[in-house]
A and B are shown apart, each in its own frame.
Chain A
Amino acid sequence: MTEQIAFWILSAVAVLGALVAVRKRNLVHGVFALMLFFAALSGLFLLLLAEFIAAVQILVYIGAVGILLLFAIMLTERVTGDDDRRITSRGWFCGVVVAVAVFFVLLLPPIQQWPAPETVPTPEPSVEKLGQRLMNPYVVTLEVLALLLTAALIGAVTAAQGKRLAKGEEPPE
């Protein structure tokens, strides 16, 4: 019962946050609405007993992606963020088609298992098990991902450094 109530509240907040994030003209408001959406999503993960994913959702999406977006707005737009330009796109029909398609792809697994089995096996999610899985069968994947991130980091540093100046060369104005 309590799970039901929590589910509906969180879902409503998530949908509302997503809508506001898309519709708001003010970019900073949009980013904060997006963060609200992420937070509600994290709550939904918590309801599914996926506590590690819930924590990572907050840590990565709100703590890193959201802050990055705020930085990007501060560095590129006028700092006040209240720019009223709006991206007008004529391809909204294609957008709707893609959105519906993605939605149905997401729905596929439950549709395939229809009608739902009587007893759902209770999942035993635990951070410990997740860690062991990451270290045992998936360790190569993990290392490759780490390498990829390191490459991205080095690339970012190189891009930020700009052209290396020869000795005695004046930096461009």
Chain B
Amino acid sequence: MSLVLDILIATVPLLVIFPTLFAFTTWLERKALARIQNRVGPDKVGVPLTRYGGRFSLFGLGQPMADGIKMLFKENIVPRDADRLFHLLAPILALIPAMLVLCFLPLEFPWTDSLKPVQAFLLDGAVIFFFAITGLNTLAVFMAGWASRNKYSLLGGMRAIAQMVSYEIPLVLSAVVVVMMVGDLNAKEIADFQTGGKWIVGNWFLFTPWGLAAFVIFFIASLAETNRSPFDLPEAESELVAGYFTEYSGFKFALFFLGEYIAMFAISGLAVTLFLGGGAGPGLDAAPWLSVVWFIAKIFVLIGVMIWLRGTLPRLRVDQLMGFAWKFLLPLSILNILVAGFAWHATQQDSKTITVVTWVISLAVLYMTAKGLNQLNRAKVRPRNYRYAE
């Protein structure tokens, strides 16, 4: 019986907290995008779910709930020629991996005895498991695209596979740097490694040259992994109607939506664990439960940047997308591993001068490489060769 209770304690918070945050994030995203585009955004649905919400419109915070109810009552339309089983399974498969990887985040809730981390899996190889399971998202997208029997859906699915497979490599390689420095694949260990230090942020990997480069690569690749703008080619509205979920309506569509946002939380959570010190923050000695708050606050900083990018950047072209992954991110992340190895050996002695010199060299090497790759990848402008019908 206690086993069942343990499982419930470990999983229910994740199943409650993150979907709630998802609802809030949809509202936040709509509001933020509206501000960027000089609109107001949803502001009518208030607390008693009425239009104009009476006196309590609360900036339209009731909107996600209204959206959810609308989704539940909408008709579920399946195309006649669609593969009914796969059409049904795809949204479920999109949600499961996203929910599953939340277990690997080092979240410490107060109600477990003596702050035992509530990880359903306390695995040594949490980071590698995380990458393995996030990769399954690709399958759901492909499954949806294929099962709908719609050209746009299929194109979206194919694009998704190509994109996700390409960007997974820089994603994993940039995380390798942190694993090398800590010497452990356990997410908890990695987070603990970064606590302490000057002004709390002293040991964060973000504030080292190799960590900064890895974080930028990781963040860009995670945008592509979660199909966020500017890498939202699989669902490009202007080209593919809605991409792989063109033929989805009602609650199945809502599940896709939910899965996408949960995946965003999960991958931002991993970025927080790897580079931003996990739950580290001020006031932890007095109130250890603050670590969860700090963790989620850091996730929301990253989500905020994602929303900001969505509001400001145009979508990439397919060839630009592929070229960016293979010709820029991949070489840079491999070089970053070499730099990190060099830095690890150089900073073994506890000497200030050596550390400073190492930092300067690493920064210079990384900067020069980024510049050089940029130079090499510059599109060669040739005189255009017009061909008319002959």
Interface, chain A (partner B; CB < 8 A):
2, 28-29, 32, 35, 51-52, 54-56, 58-59, 62-63, 66-67, 70-71, 74, 79-81, 126-128
Q: Determine the distance from Cα of A71 to Cα of B160 in the docked complex, in whole angstroms.
A: 12
B125 touches A52 (CB 8 A): yes
Q: Is B161 an interface residue (CB 8 A)?
A: yes
B135 touches A79 (CB 8 A): no
| Chain B hits for A66, CB < 8 A | 139
B135 touches A63 (CB 8 A): yes
Q: How far is the CB of A13 from chain B (nearest CB, A)?
A: 14
Stretch at the interface among B126-134, B225-233, B262-270: B126-134
- Count chain A CB atoms within 10 A of each CB in B133, B161, B184 and give the residue with the most: B133
**Closest residue of chain A to B149, judged by CB?**
A80
Given A2-B3, A51-B123, A67-B138: A59 in contact with B128 (beta carbons within 8 A): yes
B124 touches A126 (CB 8 A): yes
Q: Is B143 an interface residue (CB 8 A)?
A: yes
A52 touches B128 (CB 8 A): yes
**Closest residue of chain B to A73, judged by CB?**
B146
Q: Is B185 an interface residue (CB 8 A)?
A: yes
Q: Which of A54, A62, A127, A128 contacts B139 (CB 8 A)?
A: A62
B161 touches A59 (CB 8 A): no
Q: Which of A51, A56, A79 contacts B154 (CB 8 A)?
A: A79
Q: Is the interface of B mostly helix, strand, loop or mixed?
A: helix
Q: Is B92 an interface residue (CB 8 A)?
A: no
| Chain A hits for B161, CB < 8 A | 67, 70-71
Q: How far is the CB of A104 from chain B (nearest CB, A)?
A: 32
Given A32-B143, A127-B125, A128-B124: A55 in contact with B132 (beta carbons within 8 A): yes
Q: How far is the CB of B376 from chain A (nearest CB, A)?
A: 18
Q: Is B284 an interface residue (CB 8 A)?
A: no
Q: Determine the distance from Cα of A70 to Cα of B145 in the docked complex, in whole angstroms.
A: 12
Q: Is B158 an interface residue (CB 8 A)?
A: yes
B142 touches A58 (CB 8 A): no
- Count chain B CB atoms within 10 A of each CB in A28, A29, A55 and give the residue with the most: A55
| Chain A hits for B124, CB < 8 A | 51-52, 126-128
| Chain B hits for A70, CB < 8 A | 142, 161
| Chain A hits for B142, CB < 8 A | 70
Given A63-B132, A126-B124, A127-B124: A74 in contact with B139 (beta carbons within 8 A): no
Q: How far is the CB of B112 from chain A (nearest CB, A)?
A: 20
Binary per-residue interface labels of chain B (151-191) against chain A in the complex, 1 for a CB within 8 Å, 0 otherwise: 00010001001000100100000000000000011000000
Q: How far is the CB of B62 from chain A (nearest CB, A)?
A: 40
Q: Determine the distance from Cα of A52 to Cα of B127 in the docked complex, in whole angstroms.
A: 11
Q: Determine the distance from Cα of A73 to Cα of B124 in the docked complex, in whole angstroms.
A: 36
Q: Determine the distance from Cα of A51 to Cα of B154 in the docked complex, in whole angstroms.
A: 35
